[in-house]
Amino acid sequence: MPGTEAILAEKGFLDYAIDPGMDLFAEIERLKKEKNAIILAHYYQDADIQDIADYIGDSLGLSQEAAKTGADVIVFAGVHFMAETAKILSPQKKVLLPDLKAGCSLADTCPPDQFKVFKEQHPGHTVIMYVNSTAEIKAMSDIVCTSTNAVAIVESLPKDEKIIFGPDKNLGRYVAKKTGRDLVLWDGACMVHEIFSREKIVKLKNRYPQAKLIAHPECEEPILKEADYIGSTTGLLKYTISSPDNEFIVATESGILHQMQKASPHKTFIPAPPDNNCACNDCPHMKRNTLEKLYLCMEYEQPKILLPEALMDQARKPIERMLEISAQKGL
């Protein structure tokens, strides 16, 4: 029989049989209390996971929560780089991820060896890296940012500061335009946000002339040009709540629609169509997490995030700088 490590390496989670009659919600609640565990979930998680989470948020909110929680165990319902960030901020805590293979195609576009060469080609630059990157990349950075604070972080630096921004070129281009800065961009992108079809969105806008197009800054420039509002997942959610409008075309991962619909049941949310024959815009990495895997990881306290101390110490500095600047700016 294969051991725990072998199962985790092959499957990413312990695929032990679960009684189909088990009330997973009740069991997860029990485990939360027994283990003093907190569930942090990103807005892109399945509705069931969002509903059982103690905190639901965007990447910035989740990092802030991970840094301040009093829980002994952080169960991170999100992707690998998010759980890594939580571990770096709370190294003494146990950080669990329901599926170790829940990665990020954007983070994968920036391998540390290639980024090292890129940095050497641009000496004298301050490195601002989007949180959607590995711990190794964060350790090579000066400041980390998220989509909520990227503009504020670039603006916190002197106007003549030379800046490398990565790994998302679409967010980088958006931040450069917003701040009027000339950023050196790494050529990475997110597979979910890259796929929206401008043509189909324009047709949808004609069909729903009252609808506002709201988009995440990871979307490509032609989509952002059409958008009535651009913001992080939290920014988009807040916009739909405070806006007097009743119809929204949402250009980001579809998980966020659950909170939008819950907060404004009388409003209509239309997922922006991708440029393929499928009508869904799910992140396959985020959606690897399921309620069953959440239960299993809490019951067996596996898989957990383990990182070398020295790497965590190095990666913590740019993350803490981000949290300091965000606090100063009231974000």
Q: Is 311 in the site for ligand SF4 (CB under 6 A)?
A: no
Q: Is 192 in the site for ligand SF4 (CB under 6 A)?
A: yes
Could you say which residues in the range 89-118 bind ligand SF4, by CB under 6 A? Answer: 104-106
Residues ≥6 apart with Cβ < 8 Å to 168 = 106, 130, 132, 186, 188, 189, 190, 218
Give the H/E segment covering residue 160.
none
Q: Which two tokens stand for residue 127?
A: 């490195």
Compute the least distance from the CB of residue 216 to ligand 13P, in Å. Answer: 6
Q: Which of 35, 97, 100, 49 has its CA nearest to residue 297?
A: 97
Q: Which of 63, 133, 146, 179 binds ligand 13P (CB under 6 A)?
A: 146
156 alpha-carbon distance from chain centroid: 23
Which segment (26-34, 271-279, 283-291, 309-317) binds ligand SF4 by CB under 6 A? 283-291
Q: What span, in angstroms and rounded, lies between the C-alpha atoms of 294 and 235?
A: 27
Is 218 labelled a binding residue? yes
Q: Which two tokens stand for residue 83?
A: 């759980």
Q: Give me the DSSP letters along 305-327.
A: ----HHHHHHHHHHHHHHHHHHH
Could you say which residues in the range 60-89 bind ligand SF4, by CB under 6 A? Answer: 79
Q: Is 286 in the site for ligand SF4 (CB under 6 A)?
A: yes
Q: What is the DSSP letter of 273?
A: P
List % helix, strand, coil for the chain (3-state, nearest 5): 45, 15, 40
105 binds, among ligand SF4, ligand 13P, none (CB under 5 to 8 A by kind): ligand SF4
Could you say which residues in the range 230-269 bind ligand SF4, by CB under 6 A? Answer: 253
Q: What span, in angstroms and rounded, lies between the C-alpha atoms of 81 and 131?
A: 8
Q: Which of 31, 38, 40, 59 binds ligand 13P (CB under 6 A)?
A: 59
Asked whether 186 and 169 are in contact (CB, 8 A), the reply is: yes
Q: Is 134 in the site for ligand 13P (CB under 6 A)?
A: no
Asked whether 154 and 183 are in contact (CB, 8 A), the reply is: yes
CA Rg value for the chain: 20
Q: Is 191 in the site for ligand SF4 (CB under 6 A)?
A: yes
Residue with tokens 């980088």: 172
226 binds, among ligand 13P, ligand SF4, none (CB under 5 to 8 A by kind): none
Asked whether 140 and 115 are in contact (CB, 8 A), the reply is: yes
Could you say which residues in the range 249-308 bind ligand 13P, by CB under 6 A? Answer: none
191 binds, among ligand 13P, ligand SF4, none (CB under 5 to 8 A by kind): ligand SF4
Compute the least distance from the CB of residue 291 to ligand 13P, in Å. Answer: 20
147 binds, among ligand 13P, ligand SF4, none (CB under 5 to 8 A by kind): ligand 13P
285 binds, among ligand SF4, ligand 13P, none (CB under 5 to 8 A by kind): ligand SF4
Instruction: Count residues binding ligand 13P (CB under 6 A).
Output: 10
Q: What span, in angstroms and rounded, lies between the C-alpha atoms of 144 and 298?
A: 29
Q: Which of 58, 99, 194, 226 binds ligand 13P (CB under 6 A)?
A: 58
Is 283 labelled a binding residue? yes
Residue with tokens 């002339």: 209
List, as residue ranges, the binding site for iminosuccinate: 42, 59, 130-132, 147, 216-218, 233
List, as residue ranges, the binding site for [4Fe-4S] cluster: 104, 190, 283
Residues near ligand 13P (CB under 6 A) are 58-59, 132, 146-148, 190, 218, 232-233
Residues near ligand SF4 (CB under 6 A) are 79, 104-106, 132, 190-192, 253, 283, 285-286
